[in-house]
């Protein structure tokens, strides 16, 4: 099983707060810096769970990009795509099992269809991040990637990523791309509306719903939920819903979005 993911490879700055932030004051925190980005996270989990993984995306020719590529490659992921511009950074604030994100996607959104190579999409599954459909030119690159993957016989999946991304333009792009499988939180599903596809709907501690059938979450101690949805997607693609839920539990029990 070879999964190619298309989207972001970013630098994640994870801040674990001992207590909520206080305006104009200081709080104790534990911070870590690691590679991240939804598409990169899924690729790393695919490799960790026994699949083959390839990531395609644009990242900057800078120290942040070098660090992110080195870490993603260390998980056994093949990293492809142009190196140009500035690597994005996401700051994740985690406190009491909740998280808030501040995202700067850098040059990742500047990936164009002309920069893609057909060989990158010779795979069993093409998985795209919803962030890759939010703006141009990466939205056109995502559409071209789907054409190339389908020509190679691949299944196409999509993670909706964030309800705040979903507007009329996003809905039109999703329907034009016609994914075979969609990963979404309940709010994201409701914002998108009807779509003829298989659905895996994420419900946090309540588990997931696949094709209308509920599955309970695997019990775990929640340290940091960042990346749990990416782990679910990777596990489902590699081995089905049970592996996806086990991967999500494993992800929540540690700091950081990658294995």
What pLDDT tens digit does each residue of the chain (259 aa) get?
999 999 999 998 888 888 888 788 888 888 888 899 999 999 999 999 999 999 999 999 999 999 999 999 999 999 999 999 999 998 888 776 677 778 888 999 999 999 999 999 999 999 999 999 999 999 999 999 999 999 999 999 999 988 999 999 999 999 999 999 999 999 999 999 999 999 999 998 999 999 999 999 999 998 878 789 999 999 999 999 999 999 999 999 987 789 9
> Taking a C-beta distance cutoff of 8 angstroms, is the pair 175, 205 a contact?
no
At residue 97, the pLDDT reads 61
Give the Cα separation of 137 and 41 in Å (integer). 22
Is 230 an active-site residue?
yes
Q: Superfamily for 2-252?
A: Ribokinase (3.40.1190.20)
Show the CA angle centred on residue 229, arms to residues 81 and 195, nearest 5°: 85
- H helices within the chain, ranges in order? 38-48, 63-74, 138-151, 168-177, 186-192, 228-239, 241-252
Give the Cα separation of 78 and 98 in Å (integer). 32
Give the Cα separation of 140 and 184 in Å (integer). 21
**Every domain of the chain and the residues it spans:** 2-252
Using DSSP, state whether 125 is helix, strand or coil: strand
> Taking a C-beta distance cutoff of 8 angstroms, is the pair 49, 247 a contact?
yes
Give the Cα separation of 144 and 248 in Å (integer). 30
Dihedral of the CA atoms 232, 80, 53, 131 (nearest 10)?
Answer: 10
At residue 96, the pLDDT reads 67
97 alpha carbon, distance to own chain's centre: 19
Give the Cα separation of 12 and 43 in Å (integer). 16
Long-range contact set of residues 163-172: C-beta below 8 Å, sequence gap at least 24: 163/187, 163/188, 163/191, 165/130, 165/131, 165/133, 165/134, 166/191, 166/192, 170/130, 170/133, 170/134
Asked if omega into 152 is within 30° of 0 (cis), the reply is no
One of 8, 12, 224, 230 is an active-site residue; which one? 230
Give the Cα separation of 40 and 249 in Å (integer). 19
């Amino acid at each position: 099983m070879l999964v190619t993911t298309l989207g972001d490879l970013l630098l994640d700055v994870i801040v674990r707060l001992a207590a909520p932030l206080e305006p104009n004051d200081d709080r104790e925190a534990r911070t870590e810096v690691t590679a991240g980005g939804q598409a990169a996270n899924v690729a790393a989990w695919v490799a960790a769970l026994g699949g083959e993984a390839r990531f395609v995306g644009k990242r900057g020719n800078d120290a942040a990009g070098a660090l992110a590529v080195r870490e993603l490659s260390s998980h056994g992921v093949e990293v492809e795509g142009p190196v140009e511009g500035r690597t994005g950074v996401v700051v994740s604030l985690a406190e009491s099992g909740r998280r808030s994100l501040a995202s700067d996607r850098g040059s990742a959104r500047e990936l164009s269809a002309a920069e893609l190579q057909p060989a990158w999409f010779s795979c069993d599954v093409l998985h795209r991040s919803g962030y890759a459909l939010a703006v141009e030119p990466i939205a056109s690159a995502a559409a071209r990637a789907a054409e190339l993957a389908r020509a190679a016989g691949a299944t196409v999946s999509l993670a909706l990523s964030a309800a705040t991304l979903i507007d009329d333009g996003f809905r039109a792009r999703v329907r034009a791309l016609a994914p075979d499988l969609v990963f979404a939180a309940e709010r994201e599903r409701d914002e998108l509306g009807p779509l003829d596809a298989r659905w895996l709907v994420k419900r946090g501690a309540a588990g997931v719903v696949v094709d209308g059938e509920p599955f309970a979450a695997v019990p775990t101690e929640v340290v940091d939920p960042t990346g749990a949805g990416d782990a679910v997607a990777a596990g489902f693609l590699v081995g089905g819903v049970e592996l996806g839920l086990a991967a999500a539990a494993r992800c929540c029990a540690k700091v950081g979005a990658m294995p």
